[in-house]
Amino acid sequence: MDGLREGWRRLGVVFLATAVLVAFGPVAAAGGWWGGSDKPAVLRVTYSNKVDYEPLMVAVDKGFFRDEGLVVKPLIVTGGIESAEALATGAADIAAMGDAPAVISVSRYPVNRIVCAYGGGSQRHRLIASAAVRTPADLVGRRLGLQLGSSTHGCFLAWAKANGLDPAHVEVINLKPSEIPMAMAAGQLDAMAGSEPWATNTEKQCGKAVHELAHFGGHMGTSPMVLIASGRLLESRPEAVTKVIRAVGRAVAWMQAHPERAAAICAPLTGLSLQDQRRCTATLTWGLRWEPADAEALAMMAGFLMAHGKIATLPDLAAAVDTRPLRESQGR
């Protein structure tokens, strides 16, 4: 388990670096929206080209950010925890991520705020295993590839508990999601856990040598996908946050009205076929919101992360949420 501990140590160093960046002032904010100028600067929005982030991809392609008067620079990463890191180090102004990275982000850097959820559903996280792994107990002593700090990781911890599996008895290998399908195909892993497109890509690459052992639906409530805005942006340009939320909301509505066209936009970015893109999109629920069930899901995730030593203390989740931009985007 030394690799697992080292992965979390490196993640801690990234968030420690945030304090240094903040202490030394505006360097972290270079290229962002702060300052007194009325001229729009580049707004850096970070997300992944994954099914979870389809509204962001659609909003860029359809020009919904531009329609709001925003100049958006997409920063594409391979997972939500990398978006959390980009936000923490000042490389991004707004970040999209799942529940586990969101909890880690606000626990390490509470000046940033969750401003809305735009989708969710834990069924999108799947565990694909080799033929030798037929039950949860078969994972004991086996190599499981996933991305540490991801929502998939948090859902795996909950699923393991529900199935009487001690995660400490599984050899968890920290990999970028894009590396996992090839590692499975090469026989370097016995199982993988991930969201789409990586679970489907693993099945495509490995064929009959693998099967779906489980999906993690039902273990983490709504498992929300959220937008987090930097504290600096909320303080200096709150209207920009409202406009981003409004653009994402337009994208969600457009996706629901035009599912085939949305799949055609996103499939080349995710690498999925049109059929797989639509199937994976249908496993999530979509809509701008912040509801008690979303807060409960984050609290549940925070409890699991703390119990397994992934965060030192429980964050004040009530203080970590600012729904004013969401309400303003909806005219409330």
Query: Which CATH number goes with the domain that contains 65?
Result: 3.40.190.10
In DSSP terms, 145 is beta-bridged to 173, 192
Q: Are residues 63 and 116 in the same domain?
A: yes
Q: Which of 181, 215, 249 is the last residue of a domain?
A: 215
The answer to whether position 30 is within a domain reads no
Domain assignment of residue 204, yes or no: yes
Higher local confidence (pLDDT), 294 or 33: 294
Residues 227 and 115 in one domain: yes
Shared domain check, 127 and 109: no
Residues 168 and 113 in one domain: no
> How far is residue 100's CA from residue 154's CA, in Å, rounded to a whole number?
6
Classify residue 324 as exposed, middle or buried by CB count within 10 Å of its CB (0-12, 13-18, 19+). middle
Instruction: List pLDDT tens digits, range 288-328.
Output: 999 999 999 999 889 988 988 888 999 999 999 999 999 99
Domain extent at residue 168: 123-215
pLDDT band at 107 (very low <50, low <70, confident <90, very high): very high
| Domain-located, residue 136 | yes
- Cβ(215)–Cβ(127) below 8 Å: yes
**Does any domain span residue 14?**
no
Domain identity same for 142 and 185: yes
Among the ranges given (95-99, 153-157, 248-252), the one the predictor scored with the smallest mean pLDDT = 153-157
Domain termination residue (choose one: 215, 230, 259) = 215
pLDDT of amino acid 148: 87
Q: pLDDT of 38-94, one tens digit each?
A: 566 789 999 999 999 999 999 999 999 999 999 999 999 988 999 999 999 999 999
My answer on whether 325 and 184 are in the same domain is no
The answer to the question of residue 7 being in a domain is no
**Tokens at residue 61, please?**
């392609």
> Within this chain, do residues 92 and 115 fall inside the same structural domain, yes or no?
yes
- Please, what sign has the CA dihedral across residues 152, 153, 155, 161? positive
- Alpha carbons 144 and 202: distance in angstroms, whole number: 13
The answer to whether residues 238 and 264 belong to one domain is yes
C-beta separation of 159 from 88 below 8 A: no
CA end-to-end distance (rounded Å), the chain: 49
Confidence of residue 36 (pLDDT cuts 50, 70, 90): very low
Which of 278, 262, 286, 229 has its CA nearest to residue 57? 262
Is there a domain that residue 245 lies in?
A: yes
Structure-block tokens of residue 270: 């995710």
Is the pTM for the entire model greater than 0.85? Answer: no
Indicate if 133 and 196 belong to the same structural domain: yes
Q: Give the pLDDT score at 13.
A: 43
Q: What is the pLDDT of residues 144-195, one digit of tens each?
A: 999 888 888 888 988 999 999 999 999 999 999 899 999 999 999 999 999 8
The total number of structural domains that make up the chain: 2
Last residue of a domain, one of 199, 215, 231: 215
Does the residue 16 lie in any domain? no
User: Residue 31's pLDDT is what?
Assistant: 52
Q: Residue 152: name the closest of 51, 2, 56 by CA.
A: 51
Query: Is pLDDT above 90 for 7?
Result: no
* Backbone conformation region of residue 286, classed left if phi is above 0, alpha if psi is from -120 to 50, else beta: beta
Same structural domain for residues 65 and 99? yes
The answer to whether residue 242 sits within a structural domain is yes
Residues 175 and 227 in one domain: no
> Same domain, yes or no, for 164 and 55?
no
Asked whether the predicted pLDDT for residue 28 surpasses 70, the reply is: no
The per-type count for the chain, helices as H runs and strands as E runs, is 14, 11
Tell me the pLDDT of the chain averaged across its residues.
Answer: 88
